């Protein structure tokens, strides 16, 4: 007589939820370290458009949605509403990336507007142009950086959710 142990879904539950919580904790600690060293403040002041705030808000909102959905899937199983949240999560991760690219374009436009009526004989105008170029470039690069990082971190979270949903579906298949 062979004795077969049943599958333990709670172990898988604990692993995936703990992995998500570890990721959120790592992001939180990294953000606090960046704040302590002034990196977040410099990103905030470099972004004239303040699109980074919108990116951050969408990131927090979708991270919480992903965590709640992951907990729900592991506890109660998958349903159509969870799969729709997954689709929306992938959509919002692309939106975050697109908003970052919009900030890049706005920053480049800010850089190029200084060339319209510049007198190259006047050194004060050239110094103002260089300052404007640096300001536009900082906006372009800061929004790109925030958009890329937030998009990648959100995609990792929704990948965890997607694998949990696939595992739930495969458990019900013969």
* pLDDT tens per residue, range 28-44: 999 999 999 999 999 99
At residue 79, the 3 state secondary structure works out as coil
Q: How far is Cα 168 from Cα 171, in angstroms, rounded to an integer?
A: 5
SS3 50: coil
pLDDT tens digits, one per residue of 64-122: 999 998 888 877 777 778 889 999 999 999 999 999 999 999 988 888 876 777 777 77
Q: What are φ and ψ of residue 172, in 5° steps?
A: -90, -15
The model scores a pTM over 0.85: no
Sort 88 into a burial class: Cβ within 10 Å, 0-12 / 13-18 / 19+: middle
Other beta carbons within 10 angstroms of residue 167's beta carbon come to 15
Distance of CA 119 to the CA centre of its chain: 42
Domain ranges (residues) in the chain:
10-172
């Amino acid at each position: 007589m062979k004795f077969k142990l049943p599958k333990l879904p709670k172990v898988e539950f604990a692993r995936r939820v703990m992995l998500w919580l570890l990721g959120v904790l790592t992001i939180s600690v990294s953000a606090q370290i960046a704040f302590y060293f002034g990196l977040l403040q410099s990103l905030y002041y470099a972004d004239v458009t303040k699109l980074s705030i919108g990116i951050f808000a969408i990131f927090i909102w979708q991270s919480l949605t992903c965590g709640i959905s992951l907990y729900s899937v592991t506890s109660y199983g998958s349903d159509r509403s969870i799969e729709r949240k997954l689709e929306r999560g992938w959509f919002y991760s692309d939106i975050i990336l697109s908003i970052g690219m919009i900030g890049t374009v706005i920053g480049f436009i800010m850089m190029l507007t200084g060339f319209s009526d510049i007198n190259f004989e006047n050194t004060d105008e050239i110094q103002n142009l260089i300052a404007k170029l640096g300001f536009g470039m900082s906006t372009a690069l800061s929004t790109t950086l925030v958009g890329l990082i937030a998009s990648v971190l959100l995609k990792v979270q929704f990948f965890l959710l997607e694998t949990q949903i696939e595992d739930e579906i495969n458990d019900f298949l013969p």
